[in-house]
A = this chain, B = another copy of it.
Amino acid sequence: MKFRRSERLIDMTNYLLEHPGRLVPLTFFAERYSSAKSSISEDLAIIKETFEVRGIGSLNTVPGAAGGVRYMVSIKPEEAVAFIDELCGVMTSPNRLLPGGYLYLTDLLGNPETVNKIGRIIAAAYAKKKVDVIMTMATKGIPLAYAVANYLNVPVVIVRRDNKVTEGSTVSINYVSGSSKRIQTMVLSKRSLAETSNVLIIDDFMKAGGTVNGMVSLLEEFKATVAGIAVLVESDHVEERLVDEYISLIKLSEVDEKDKTIHVTRGNYFTKEAF
């Protein structure tokens, strides 16, 4: 069965979007559509241009026998800024205030479009870096971790506070929570993470950074490397931050329970060079 160009473009777009970060040999597409490699190359040039113009991502062509094409996610800076500004606006609604100065954000993290957009923004910053695995802490970070992992096409490992029989043997560490100064435990299944992996740590919220710092210590037990740390929201009003190198999309600078005001701004993602 032969495919027309228009059909090839549609199916290739779907295939590339479903396999970000993966090198797809041209012969794969040539066989899939019974087409000449030269036609496939022309198709890819059209897709590449459209992906770039529309901010969908970039297509990198690797020449040679072992070569192929790789789709890497990106986002237009103005699209990321507009989205985060909108999210900041939504977050400052006074009815999000919970007793103790906490913010209700469960609905935002329950919306797949929102979560995917956040995941896309974070993934875009790491698309060209070496990331083998995403790590997060159960449970709030899980949706974000998978959203990022989807765009980078790498597995997710989930750190827990408790041991589960279905995890097999585990490695556990004790760490000091940065804000409450309490000693806590975190546990990771031994076989879930290969040694010397490059690990991107993702979390929804960072205050002093105790949890993130704990994950960094846990990675040392696995002889793994921190490829990066990214959080959705960082809280600004802490004396001493335990973590230095990280990106945040949103900075929560003030919550006034009495006046019912919440002050949030763009995070350091938008001032870092990487962006």
What total of chain A residues lie within 8 Å of the partner, measured CB to CB?
Answer: 57
Contacts of A192 in B (CB 8 A): 106-107, 110
Contacts of A271 in B (CB 8 A): none
Complex-state Cα separation, A235 to B65, whole angstroms: 47
The reply to whether A146 and B14 form a contact with Cβ atoms under 8 Å apart is no
Q: List residues of chain A with CB under 8 Å of any chain B CB.
A: 5-7, 9-11, 13-14, 17-19, 46-47, 49-51, 53-54, 56, 98-100, 102-107, 110-113, 115-116, 138-140, 142-143, 146-147, 149-150, 153-158, 160, 165-168, 189, 191-192
The reply to whether A168 and B14 form a contact with Cβ atoms under 8 Å apart is no
* Interface SS majority for chain A: helix
The reply to whether B168 and A156 form a contact with Cβ atoms under 8 Å apart is no
Given A110-B192, A157-B110, A105 and B166 touching (CB < 8 A)?
yes
The reply to whether B138 and A156 form a contact with Cβ atoms under 8 Å apart is no
9 closest cross-chain pairs (CB), A and B: A10-B50, A13-B13, A110-B155, A7-B50, A138-B139, A112-B149, A142-B142, A110-B156, A139-B139
Complex-state Cα separation, A11 to B138, whole angstroms: 36
The reply to whether B156 and A11 form a contact with Cβ atoms under 8 Å apart is no
The reply to whether A7 and B155 form a contact with Cβ atoms under 8 Å apart is no
Given A107-B191, A146-B112, A98 and B9 touching (CB < 8 A)?
no
Which residue of B is nearest A8, CB measured?
B50
The reply to whether B146 and A47 form a contact with Cβ atoms under 8 Å apart is no
Contacts of A7 in B (CB 8 A): 46, 49-50, 53
Contacts of A56 in B (CB 8 A): 11, 14
The reply to whether B46 and A166 form a contact with Cβ atoms under 8 Å apart is no
The reply to whether B13 and A10 form a contact with Cβ atoms under 8 Å apart is yes
The reply to whether B166 and A102 form a contact with Cβ atoms under 8 Å apart is yes
Which residue of B is nearest A14, CB measured?
B56
Complex-state Cα separation, A50 to B3, whole angstroms: 10
Name 22 A/B residue pairs within 8 A (Cβ), A-sorted.
A5-B6, A6-B50, A7-B50, A7-B53, A9-B9, A9-B10, A11-B56, A14-B54, A98-B166, A99-B165, A106-B158, A106-B189, A106-B192, A107-B191, A110-B156, A110-B157, A112-B149, A115-B146, A139-B139, A143-B146, A146-B146, A146-B147
